[in-house]
Amino acid sequence: MPEQPGTSITTVVYRPGDSTPDIEATQIIAVRAWLLANDIDPRNVPTSTDLTVVTEPDGQRTIHYHRFVLTPEGRRQIDPDRPNEVWTEKVTAPCVIVRLFGKLYRWEPGDGESLVLHPVTEDA
């Protein structure tokens, strides 16, 4: 189905349980490195929730994820509505250019709902 002009596109970066356990462990390591490159502390992002990138019609990308709600001392809080769970909140952050191994990269849509790192030329 073709995209409608002026609509946002949501791409899944990580969804728990989509991969076999051995592949998922490798994927989590890559996603944590990507989060750090986007100035997000991966220790505060649960691996039990989806991580997506939304591309707006103007091309701007934002990362949509859950993060743990922390106390002033930096400890995870218990959810007041679900006392058996850790409290999380849905937040967004800009998806920025990533520098890995001395080269600039940008996340671009790949096959299906996947994302692929593409090199960015110096004059871009």
The structure's pTM equals 0.69
Strand partners, 70: 76
Would you write out the chain's pLDDT as a tens digit for each of its 124 residues? 445 556 777 767 677 766 667 666 767 777 788 888 888 999 999 888 888 888 888 878 889 999 999 999 999 999 999 999 999 999 999 987 555 556 666 666 666 655 566 667 665 4
d(CA 113, CA 124) in angstroms, rounded, equals: 25
Q: Which of 4, 108, 12, 27 is nearest to 63 (CA)?
A: 12
